[in-house]
A and B are shown apart, each in its own frame.
Chain A
């Protein structure tokens, strides 16, 4: 009898694993993906939507178009997982039994955890990115402040990329000289990774982007238009863009599968749940202290898929483990970009910004749909 493999979440991680398990289990698994919308969204593109360089429609495809024909898709929200009965309850009332379960539900943003920040802008959701671009179109000079209101958040270099793309956008409109850009960072550098921060800080200075260190956003006063840090500093703004606090999904919290922020504890190499059998998690969903990014979910997917296939076939766990590999691009504006690569054993390295990395990123963004979800790029 075929094993029931249920995957919660049709993002990058869940989709790759579904396709790989269906392909490699020799017909011994029924693979079902549960996704709340049935729409696959390419989240790295939000950054470009926010500055008008990408259309929202280019970032979305139906999840069925990315899944193999032998993978079932259930468009419904997973409400609760009963790990002792091995059942997933869906919002519609339907239930799914599983033999193996992959939690690939990702993260959600919770701006309302920051007092006064309800109306702050962000580029972490499609709605946020669209609304931010609308606001930028109506902006004609003043102070734009970009701050971080919670750790961890998706794509650590994104705030730095955003200020560079914002600088380009404002120059293009001829209002850069009338605008101050202030980047507030939780640490005394551009972002967590030291080597890359050293590379981008001189470029921030050259573009006239002001970097304020050790500014951990605590609250916003939307009337006075000020943002205040845990460290006690206050900065004025005309337009405020915040990286919202992130949490795991509601189903994780409601089912007691994660920690107090809803991040699922897994072994950092095998991605197995630390306390539950037959359960794995990947991507943003986990509590592994590495970047929350599509690249991590992508590299983890082949490991989770091999683990699940071995479990389905009753074979020994595979020797191939996740080594902490992360690879991402970082736009530095004016048509250039750099990359950041590292893993558990090798510290991050970044080459000098160049045009070819910008084009490589643009190419990756376009070819994503035909390569990544299908598991064609290792």
Chain B
């Protein structure tokens, strides 16, 4: 299965809460249903992304970790 990512964000090296703020800004630019991927190194980003997705209603469709880099894929919610 291939998924098309509309926007990719490099948030590596940034500490909380900058990853969430940059993500919130980027998500605003997307059309409903489009996907955004983000890469972060702050371990605090894991619970923050989950909670942000839940609170704002933009589903977190993928998350994982590889070599100390956390990655997340969010889908912009339908209006």
Interface residues of A (CB under 8 A from B): 151-152, 186-188, 192, 194, 213-214, 216, 229-232, 289
Contacts and interface: CB of A to CB of B under 8 A. Distances in A.
Given A187-B16, A192-B16, A289-B14, A216 B48 contact: no
Interface in B3-28: 13-18, 20-21, 24-25, 28
A289 B21 contact: no
A214 B16 contact: no
B66 interface: no
Nearest to B18: A151
Given A151-B18, A289-B15, A188 B25 contact: no
Q: Would you call the interface of chain B mostly helix, strand, loop, or mixed?
A: helix
B55 A151 contact: no
Q: How large is the interface on B (under 10, 10 to 19, 20 to 34, 35 or more residues)?
A: 10 to 19
A268 to B, nearest CB: 11
Contacts of A231: 24, 55-56
B20 A214 contact: yes
B51 interface: yes
Given A186-B21, A187-B16, A192-B16, A230 B55 contact: no
Contact of A187 (B13, B14, B20, B25): B20
Contact of A230 (B18, B24, B51): B24
A187 B17 contact: yes
Given A187-B16, A187-B20, A188-B48, A214 B55 contact: yes
Nearest to B54: A188
Contacts of B16: 187, 192
A214 B20 CA distance: 9
B33 interface: no
Contacts of B15: 289
B52 interface: yes
B32 interface: no
A213 B13 CA distance: 24
